[in-house]
A and B are shown apart, each in its own frame.
Chain A
């Protein structure tokens, strides 16, 4: 794998995470339990799609085949996506959506904090811009996890169930491969395993306040970042996200 091929894979992972999660979160638009949360979730979704334009835009540039961010978002099939499995999982109830959001925000805030000092200044610039948005996302999703976790009997039970369901998808964030090794060697991105300590500190603080127990299970699902095996959910998401470009290829307005 050449350096640019590894960088391309890394950028796809960054961009596909924000694209797929952005799309998932946008599914709540008009359906949230209260108006204020509806607007807040739509804002988060839009931030994530905005970050996607930068990551996938740079990915297309690095690939050098003339593909734009839109081409990469709408003209690839499931096996070409490099997002974490966590972000493609269905929304579930509002609590599960916010738990997934917090787990991702916590990971993303630690990762972007490192990428700000990336040896590639294009990566550093995107990270600097995105980290301001993500600092707000993580504060908001953490507050909601605490509010619902340490809330009523029902909200607590739902949040614990959400954490139990989602936790096996967390391990994938910290499992590196040859792409990560190439990024770490050149100082472009940190070794994923090195993010785990800061992530765990944030998770234990928030889950403690939320009166939720982090599961002990060590097993983790993987295959999203590598593209080896996505869940069945990604294909369904793409049929709706990519519908227009599939039905009317190249349509623009």
Chain B
């Protein structure tokens, strides 16, 4: 029998943040306790207004070994960065 609680990844939306950001991980027996543990471990200093948790095994990730084929091709495509345009003042903040 496995006695270890499952691992959960914790995402917190900060006071002024628009999106939840990954802040770390913890162990908990279920989702409710994972949220409570996240509250106790990661929001002690007023860091957040919303918490998401997801069991780590439900996250699919890219394999470190595939870094080359996955990410290197985009390095050579600088035209994808919209840095060649002058933005008219009237357009305001983009």
Contact = CB atoms under 8 A, between A and B. Distances in A.
Among B32, B39, B40: residue with most chain A CB under 10 A = B40
12 contacts: A34-B5, A35-B27, A36-B26, A36-B28, A36-B40, A36-B41, A39-B40, A39-B44, A40-B41, A139-B36, A143-B32, A143-B36
Interface of B: 5, 26-29, 32-33, 36-37, 39-41, 44
Contacts of B41: 35-36, 39-40
Nearest to B1: A152
A39 B44 CA distance: 10
Nearest to A148: B29
Interface residues of A, number: 11
A36 B37 contact: yes
Interface string A5-49: 000000000000000000000000000001110011001000000
A43 B44 CA distance: 8
Considering the complex of A and B, which 3 residue pairs feature the smallest CB-CB distances, nearest first? A40-B40, A36-B37, A43-B40
Nearest to B30: A147
Contacts of A139: 36
Given A35-B41, A39-B41, A43-B40, 20 more contacts: A34-B5, A34-B27, A35-B27, A36-B26, A36-B27, A36-B37, A36-B40, A36-B41, A39-B40, A39-B44, A40-B36, A40-B37, A40-B40, A40-B41, A139-B36, A140-B36, A143-B32, A143-B33, A147-B29, A147-B33
A143 B44 CA distance: 20
A40 B44 CA distance: 10
A36 to B, nearest CB: 4
Interface string A105-144: 0000000000000000000000000000000100110010
Contacts of A35: 26-27, 41
A92 B48 CA distance: 34
